[in-house]
Structure 1
Amino acid sequence: MLSICKTKVYRLCRLGFRNKVLAFVVCVTVVVLLLASKLGRSSGSFRQSRDFFADKHITSDGIFPLPRRQAFRNEQKKNSVLPLRFFKHKPGVSAHNFDWITNPRQLCLPPLGHQTNIHKHEVYLLVTIASAVWEFERRELIRKTWASVAKPHGKTIKYVFFLGNSGKSEHFVAVKNEFKMYGDIVMENFAETYKNLTLKTQGQLKWATYFCPNARFVMHVDDDVFADVGGVVDYLIKQEHQRILRCAKVFKPTVRREGKWTMSKKDYPRSQYPLACVGWCFVVSQDVVNDLYYMSLDTFLIHLEDVTFTGILRERIGDLQLAKMPNGETLCQHKGWPKDEPTNKKLEDAWLELQAKNTP
């Protein structure tokens, strides 16, 4: 880098300075500042030093201080399909204040005595799995199959299941026992319903912000999806210096006024939703996790979670572009539809197929 200053950059710098020593000092300073700026933006502005936890206060409520909240201009673009109501700033209109019934708060922390060696214990990818509280067999199957991939390319992967509360005592007791056995379940005290998937996704983002700020990337996936985690990591390695929102599949849906995805005109008065990720699988860098979570707190949320987080909130943030991952529908295979065979069987078959493919 110094040799560059002595040649090309020095020739540019010296034009404004008669003193060669001063020109060289200014030149080196500029280069250092540019490098620092680049590092600050790398991995989606995600930067970890060896003492990541040294200035952190680890509590049962989270790892503090929390990631910094960015300031956004909150301006609607001329070609935006979003109704104006989503750009009206209402602090705390969608606050996420549900109790943690189970919470693996230690999951992303390095072992005791190793807090200063973050590079050795970095969480490269946090996989947050949206699961229904009663899907005990499916979670067991996922743990034994695609979520058993722990260190692809030497990268540490962590898996967490996210549940709501069915209100049934037998489910409550069974999940408590499951959590004691595996320690990988976040259960929050909101009703386990389809329309609360938005709350579940918001809870995933909150948990990653509060309890896993050292994750480089975070992946949202539904429990009826087969995820090729090794393939996703292969892709992410090439994206490490970017701020990303990547989807298995991209769509721009039309608003429906009846059926499963019905939306009232009061909640969404226009006829078109913004471009978004289909909700079964998407990956974001850590800074995008924080931005989406913080923005969600001050935004009216509709019950379509994919449109909400990767469409509406993405547009509100303003500088966030989404894109489809190459082979996204192979990396994340939706097995919940069609209903020609049991979903669990299709998940297991996909795992066996991947194992056969990867066996020499």
Structure 2
Amino acid sequence: MISPFHVYLRCLHFSRRRWPILFLVISCLFFLHFIFSGYFEELLSCVLPLFYPTPSSLSTSQLLAPSILVSPPKGCSPAPFLLILVSSSPSHQDQRNTIRQTWGSRSSSKVSLSLTLFVLGVPKSENEQTALLQEANIYGDIIQADFTDSYRNLTLKTLVGLSFVSQRCQGAKFLMKTDDDVFVNTLALSRFLQGQGGPLYLGRVHWRVYADRNPGSRHYTSRSTYPDENFPPYCSGTGYVLSQEAIVSFLQQAERQTIISLEDVYSGILAWAAGISPKHVARFAGSILVPHSGCCYNTMFTSHGLTPQSMKEAWTMLSEVRNDWCLLSLLRCKIQGNIL
């Protein structure tokens, strides 16, 4: 008959033999979570400031951005903690209305201490312009500037937004630039920003992106416009955040930087010139298609590529799952998003 003591010794011997294997498995799982969740890139971005130049002193003259034709009647009063500027097209009224009903609604903005406004250019159609003016009168949340609304002019929208904040919304501590097909978890983002300070430029960082020299490409950049082969690190234009200090520096650098049509790349160029390195945050999805689930919308700050219908569904999912615990949600959402 085997005594309990002998059983204990056998178990101890078994555990000692298996412990290195168990340790290896746990280490591998931790490494995979660290890599695929985006935390490795977060750590890598912490080293970036060591490689950024020290900007030279600049004048305090104002950037000559396109003049603003339409702006919110209340301006930016009271100034929000987080101002969200959504780059939109004149024909995308359904997208804007959906945002007004979901994450950009008044009830959501009150809880998250945010304010959502839309930035547009001038449409080619007079009928579209008439409809846009009516929309602006109804909702009072549209900024329209004097330039043709087109993909190649997206950078002008960003410059207009930065100028608007600098001149009319200096009380806002943070600015978020995003697009009208992006779902934003404003409450989670606002809570995260509560602990941030200093010159800040954060989002989903793209590393070592090469300039596209194909004239037929949508992302074409000529050598005369940008002579270097690769762009400095920059945050995905689907959603990034700037502090007031960063906005001032960006506008100062914009006076001497050639404008390129790639809006998010241009922001990265301004950041490089200003000596402000981008900070990677794993909870910004960038251009990754986040799985259509409540856990993902609750975990991620941004989710890209949503239709108006899917954005309404996402808002409902978020409200239902907000207090639930989602196991390894960031890892699952990132891996599934890369597969989609």
Pair 1:167 & 2:124 matched? yes
1:313-343: CA deviations, max 9, x gaps?
A: 111112x12112241222111115xxxxxx2
Matched, 1:150 2:109: yes
Number of equivalenced pairs: 256
2:317 matches 1:353: yes
For structure 2, the residue ranges without an aligned partner over 5 or more in a row are 1-48, 286-299, 325-340
Whether the 8 Å contact between 2:59 and 2:252 is mirrored in structure 1 is no
Task: Choose the corresponding residue for 1:292, options 245, 250, 261.
Answer: 250
Q: Map Cα deviations across residues 9-38 of structure 1 (whole Å, 9 max, x no partner).
A: xxxxxxxxxxxxxxxxxxxxxxxxxxxxxx
**Equivalents in 1 of 2:86, 2:118: separation in Å?**
5
Asked if residue 265 in structure 1 is aligned to residue 223 in structure 2, the reply is yes
Q: Distance in 1 between matches of 2:207 and 2:100?
A: 30
Distance apart, 1:255 and its partner CA: 1.1
Q: 1:359 to 1:91 in 2, by over 3 A?
A: closer
8 Å contact from structure 2 (residues 60, 252) kept in 1: no
Using the alignment, how far apart are the partners of 1:135 and 1:124 within structure 2?
27
- How does 1:102-113 map onto structure 2 within 5 Å? 102-110=70-78
- Listed one character per residue, the Cα deviations across residues 195-226 of structure 1 (whole Å, up to 9, x for unaligned) are 10000000010001111000011110111111
8 Å Cα contact 1:146/1:227 also seen in 2: yes
1:270, distance to aligned residue in structure 2 (A): 2.1
Q: What CA deviation, in whole Å up to 9, does each residue of 1:282-319 have, x standing for no partner? A: 0111111122123212321111111111x21111112x
CA deviations 1:224-252 (Å, max 9, x no partner) are: 1111101101210121x332111134333
Q: Give the AA of the match of 1:95.
A: L
| SS, match of residue 177 in structure 2 | strand
Q: Which residue of 2 aligns with 1:247?
A: 203
2:102 matched to 1:134?
A: no
User: What CA deviation, in whole Å up to 9, does each residue of 1:250-275 have, x standing for no partner?
Assistant: 33311111221111121122211111
Identical-residue share of aligned pairs (%): 26
Q: Given the alignment, which residue of 146, 150, 158 partners 1:189?
A: 146
- TM-score normalised per structure 2: 0.69
Amino acid at match of 2:71: N
Shift of 1:281: 0.4
- Aligned equivalents of 1:203, 1:270: Cα separation in 2: 26
Contact 1:219/1:284 (<8 A) preserved: yes
* Amino acid across the alignment from 1:150: S
Report the aligned-residue RMSD. 2.6
Question: C-alpha separation between the residues in 1 aligned to 2:115 and 2:318?
Answer: 20
Instruction: Determine if the alignment matches structure 1 residue 325 to structure 2 residue 284.
Output: no
The residue number in structure 1 matching 2:334 is none
Normalised by the length of structure 1, the TM-score is 0.66
Map residues 31-70 of structure 1 onto 2, 5 A cutoff: none
* Alpha-carbon distance between aligned partners in 1 of 2:208 and 2:61, rounded to the nearest angstrom: 28
Gaps of 5+ in 1: 1-76, 82-86, 111-121, 337-342
Change (3 A) 1:78 1:263: farther
Kept in 1: contact 2:86–2:178 (CA 8 A): yes
Tell me the distance in 2 between the aligned counterparts of 1:180 and 1:93: 29
- 1:348 maps to a residue whose letter is K
- Give the CA deviation at 1:91: 10
Tell me, in whole angstroms, the C-alpha distance in 2 between the residues paired with 1:129 and 1:326: 21
Question: Cα distance 1:272–1:281, how it changes in 2: closer, same or farther (>3 A)?
Answer: same
Give, as a single letter, the amino acid of the residue that structure 1 aligns with 2:279: A
Distance 2:52 2:249 in 1: 20
Q: 1:95 aligns with which of 53, 61, 64?
A: 64
> 1:349 Cα shift?
2.2
